[in-house]
């Protein structure tokens, strides 16, 4: 379930009168009780697995989006798709034909998407790995190991955008994986077609296996309709690989020598504050070798990350660390194997996170220190499988810098899969990027999962973990452990999380959001789907209770209840995500907390109840917007937060957006304003040549930053990047509106892949 971007989950709002709440709740219950059409054609968990034959071909397939070769005409279709939304199990409103071919080098997937209104087909994006949520689209998963948990995924829209990634843990995704493959599309008077060519050299798979897991989904965005080959049930997400069907007849697949060599040349022209232009350049190489068809060795030397996107700005108004995601390609490739049970249960979009995240391995701790880049001399990574055991090993050598000595950081991860969707695992990390002192972390975890809980076709997940850090000079209270249970289904959802994080638990190449606490979260959701005639697609209602207790004195440090009274998604695509969400909160400060420069909250107990309203218009519209308001009590005073966003599209080439996040707080200890502004202007000449521009400002740092990126995909695997960055900072001595140029940076990178 994804209802609201997670970045909006921390907003707060104020109380509403009891009468208004009663009216809203009554209306919700009345509409929610309206029945929706029975899914009489819906495939159940005990139904036979759908299967399709992949046809072998010897004739050349020209990948141009037009399925006009004889091989396409003669190949059988895999069978009709089935509607999942809005009516699970019903026949689709538009016909889709899918055919599968393969030769010595590639798997080919040809799809004809018929449409009775071809001029209404939506395609607003062309950039590599663009979000396709606003578009008509096709999505494919390939479970090459048939482990019902991990897969490759590929997607496109009528404009030919290339989107790919990895699926792990039967639903988690790594969308930053970039494989070497091709897709072309064509729009006609009958609809649109797509032609995929996926090289076997791009995939990992067990030698000699002729059957793979497979599923395909087609979304018709203007109708908010999704059709699938298998798993067409409300409670089944597309990336639940356990629901995939199978494709057969994949005989004699070869990966050649299984070697990819990708040399690169990078150049950097920085202009430091001291003035004067300098040029820094270096060659490097990335190497990928398939030791077996299912076990890959990756190596990088003289690594350069000059093409990496900048982080989105955040202002921290909490007492605890905030999280910035990894964006560097080397660390993102096959990152799912290092995933740990502590990250396995997330709240629905729009619900605040626990505030107690634990990552025993967090790759941003390697090669980055205090926000500054630490050069990487080399890195080696081994990922893949041996039988039913998943293996992940990483070793990186960082160069010495004034703030830290040179050193190696190592991570080892093993997961042994059993049953259909379960595993037991272990992790070991060694190294300390910020200190010469020795440091290591060890841990074990377990996941038990099923999509047929109690024989009723429902999803159920249970996980547990135990971790211990061992840092030189630190003894005792250095463990963390816990468990979680999640019932993630369409109409009803529930979760329980419990974990303990001891005071000295500190994985040196990990991330811990807060320590010296014991956390409990209990939550439930009721999400009915009214009859489509009501105009409402689905209604969400949640209650989340979270409590933290200090380990050193046994006192409650904080608790809060988050109640979603109205989260309605309409058939038009518009969404009223929140209408007076309630968030009664208790906080106890054991030491003063500086919430903003010069504004210090004293030790004591605080009770307040913010409230939230949030609305977004349909993504299918050219002009799309969102507005969120938080208001009410806040710590010792009051605060209002306003979050707005607007975007305009000229499909499929041009997109411009502007977002503002502002908090206005008035406290007895002092008032403050926290502002973040950001804007994107993106232009795609084609799916292979894109220009993207991001400008951001926050008043906490006083920094205005611009990053402009050009990416030219000469051929899949061969890329040329130009990245320009410019920063400005407020010159307070000359007035608020005066900016001084802080730094300039121009980087280029050319990488070329040789496949053997």
Complete DSSP assignment for 703-715: EEEEEEEEEEEEE
| Both tokens assigned to 238 | 């597309």
Q: How far is CA 187 from CA 119, 120, 224, 593, in A?
A: 9, 11, 20, 59
Model pLDDT, residue 268: 73
Condensed to tens digits (0 to 9), the pLDDT of residues 146-168 reads 988 889 999 999 999 999 998 98
pLDDT digits (tens, 9 = 90+) for 179-217: 899 999 999 999 999 999 999 999 989 888 899 999 999
> In the β-sheet with 191-199, what is the strand arrangement from edge to edge?
55-56, 96-102, 106-114, 191-199, 182-188
> What ranges make up the beta strands (E) of 340-438?
358-359, 368-369, 372-373, 376-386, 389-398, 407-418, 422-430
Residue 484 has pLDDT above 60, yes or no: yes
Q: Which residues contact 654 (CB under 8 A, 6 or more apart)?
A: 682, 683, 684
Q: What is the pTM of this model?
A: 0.85
Q: Compute CA 39 distance to the chain's CA centroid, rounded to the nearest angstrom.
A: 31
| Length of the chain counted residue by residue | 756
What sections of 324-397 are H helices per DSSP?
329-332
Question: In sequence order, what DSSP letters do the residues of 656-701 get, joined into one string?
Answer: EEEEEEEEEEEETTEEEEEEEEEEEEEEEEETTEEEEEEEEEETTT
User: Domains along the chain?
Assistant: 37-248 (2.60.40.1190)
Secondary structure in 3-state letters for 418-474: ECCCEEEEEEEEECCCCCCCCEEEEEEEEEEEECCHHHCCCCEEEEEEEEEEEECCC
More confident residue, 679 or 328: 679
Q: Which helix (H) or strand (E) holds 498?
A: strand 492-501
SS3 sequence of 184-232: EEEEECCEEEEEEEEEHHHCCCCCCCCCEEEEEEEEEHHHCEEEECCCC
Q: How far apart are CA 441 and CA 589, in angstroms?
A: 30
> Which pair of tokens denotes residue 72?
């396409």
Name the band, by pLDDT with cuts 50, 70 and 90, for residue 10: very low
Is residue 107's pLDDT more than 90? yes
Predicted confidence (pLDDT) at residue 106 exceeds the cutoff of 90: yes
DSSP alpha helices (H): ranges in 546-674?
none
Question: Any idea which residue has 């697949």 for tokens?
Answer: 253
Higher per-residue pLDDT: 440 or 172: 440
Tell me whether strands 245-248 and 51-53 are parallel, antiparallel or unpaired: parallel
Using a pLDDT cut of 90, give the percent of the chain over it: 63
Rounded percentage of the chain residues whose pLDDT exceeds 70: 91
> Among 19-28, 251-260, 275-284, 293-302, whose mean pLDDT is lowest?
19-28
pLDDT digits (tens, 9 = 90+) for 306-351: 677 778 888 889 888 888 888 777 887 778 889 899 987 888 888 8
| Strand-strand pairing, 585-589 and 556-570 | antiparallel
- CA distance linking residue 537 with residue 86, whole number of Å: 7
Query: Residue 93 pLDDT more than 70?
Result: yes
Report the pLDDT value the prediction gives residue 11, as an integer from 0 to 100. Answer: 33
* Helix extents (H) in 207-334: 329-332
Query: What pLDDT was estimated at residue 39?
Result: 36
CB neighbourhood size of 48 (10 A): 7
CA–CA dist 461, 345 (Å, integer): 9
Q: CA 344, CA 460: separation in Å to the nearest integer?
A: 12
Per residue in 273-301, pLDDT (tens digit) is: 444 455 566 788 889 999 988 899 999 88
Position with higher pLDDT, 725 vs 40: 725
Contact present, 612 and 602 (Cβ < 8 Å): no
Distance CA 246, CA 211 (A): 7
pLDDT value of position 370? 72
CB 12 within 8 A of CB 634: yes
Cα separation, 628 vs 380, in Å, equals 45
Quote the longest CA-to-CA distance of the chain: 78
Query: What's the confidence (pLDDT) of residue 735?
Result: 55
CA-closest candidate to residue 537, choices 547, 524, 527, 525: 527
């Amino acid at each position: 379930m994804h209802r609201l971007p997670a970045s909006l989950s921390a907003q707060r709002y104020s109380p509403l009168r009891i009468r208004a709440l009663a009216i809203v709740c009554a209306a919700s219950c009345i509409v929610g009780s309206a029945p929706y059409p029975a899914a009489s054609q819906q495939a159940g968990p005990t139904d036979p697995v759908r299967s399709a034959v992949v046809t072998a071909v010897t004739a050349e397939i020209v990948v141009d989006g037009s399925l006009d070769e004889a091989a396409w005409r003669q190949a059988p279709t895999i069978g009709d798709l089935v509607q999942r939304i809005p009516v699970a199990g019903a026949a689709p409103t538009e016909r889709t034909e899918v055919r599968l071919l393969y030769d010595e080098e590639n798997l080919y997937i040809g799809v004809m998407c018929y449409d009775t209104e071809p001029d209404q087909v939506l395609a607003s994006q062309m950039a590599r790995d663009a979000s396709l949520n606003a578009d008509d689209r096709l999505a494919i998963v390939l479970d090459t190991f048939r482990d019902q948990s991990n897969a490759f995924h590929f997607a496109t829209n009528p404009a030919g955008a290339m989107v790919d990634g990895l699926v792990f843990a039967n639903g988690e995704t790594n969308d930053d994986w970039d494989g070497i493959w091709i897709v072309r599309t064509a729009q006609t008077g009958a609809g649109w077609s797509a032609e995929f060519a996926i090289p076997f050299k791009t995939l990992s798979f067990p030698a000699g296996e002729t059957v793979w897991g497979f599923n395909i989904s087609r979304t018709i965005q203007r109708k908010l309709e999704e059709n699938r080959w298998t798993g067409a049930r409300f409670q089944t997400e597309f990336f639940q690989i356990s629901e995939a069907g199978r494709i057969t007849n994949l005989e004699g697949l070869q990966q050649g020598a299984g070697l990819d060599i990708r040399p690169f040349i990078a150049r950097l022209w920085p202009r430091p504050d001291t003035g004067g232009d300098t040029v820094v350049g270096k060659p490097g190489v990335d190497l990928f070798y398939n030791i077996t068809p299912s076990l890959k060795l990756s190596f990088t030397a003289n690594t350069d990350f000059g093409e990496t996107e900048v982080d989105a700005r955040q202002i921290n108004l909490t007492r605890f660390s905030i999280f910035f995601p990894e964006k560097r390609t080397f660390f993102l490739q096959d990152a799912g194997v290092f995933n740990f049970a502590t990250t396995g249960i997330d709240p629905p979009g729009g619900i605040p996170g626990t505030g107690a995240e634990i990552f025993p391995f967090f790759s941003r701790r390697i090669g980055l220190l205090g926000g500054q880049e630490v050069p990487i001399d080399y890195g080696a990574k081994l990922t893949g499988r041996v039988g039913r055991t998943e293996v992940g090993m990483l070793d990186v050598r960082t160069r010495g810098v004034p703030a830290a000595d040179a050193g190696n950081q190592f991570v080892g991860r093993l997961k042994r899969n059993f049953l259909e969707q379960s595993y037991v695992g272990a992790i070991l990390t060694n190294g300390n990027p910020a200190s010469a002192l020795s440091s290591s972390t060890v841990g074990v975890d377990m996941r038990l999962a099923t999509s047929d809980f109690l024989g009723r076709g429902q999803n159920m997940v249970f996980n547990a973990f135990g971790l211990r850090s061992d840092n030189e000079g630190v003894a005792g209270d250095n463990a963390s452990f816990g468990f979680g249970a999640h019932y993630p289904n369409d109409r009803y959802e529930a979760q329980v999380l419990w974990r303990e994080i001891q005071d000295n638990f500190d994985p040196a190449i990990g991330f811990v959001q807060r320590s010296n606490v014991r956390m409990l979260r209990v939550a439930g959701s009721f999400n009915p789907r009214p009859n489509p005639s009501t105009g409402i697609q689905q209604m969400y209602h949640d209650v989340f209770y979270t409590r933290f207790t200090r380990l050193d004195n046994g006192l409650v440090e904080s608790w809060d209840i988050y109640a979603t009274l109205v989260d309605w998604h309409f058939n038009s695509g518009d969404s009223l995500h929140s209408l007076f969400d309630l968030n009664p909160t208790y906080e106890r400060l054991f030491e003063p907390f500086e919430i903003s420069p010069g504004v210090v909250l004293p030790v004591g107990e605080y009770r307040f109840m913010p409230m939230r309203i949030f609305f977004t218009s349909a993504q299918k519209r050219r002009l799309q917007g969102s507005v969120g308001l938080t208001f009410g009590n806040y710590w010792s005073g009051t605060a209002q937060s306003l979050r707005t966003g607007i975007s305009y599209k000229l499909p499929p080439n041009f997109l411009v957006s502007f977002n503002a996040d502002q908090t206005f707080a008035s406290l007895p200890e002092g008032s403050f304003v926290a502002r973040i502004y950001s804007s994107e202007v993106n232009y795609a000449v084609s799916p292979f040549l894109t220009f993207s521009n991001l400008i951001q400002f926050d008043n906490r740092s006083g920094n205005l930053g611009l990053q402009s990126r050009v990416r030219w995909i000469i051929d899949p695997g061969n890329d040329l990047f130009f990245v320009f960055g410019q920063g400005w900072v407020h010159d307070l001595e000359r007035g608020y509106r005066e900016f001084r140029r802080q730094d300039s940076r121009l980087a280029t990178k050319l990488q070329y892949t040789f496949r053997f």
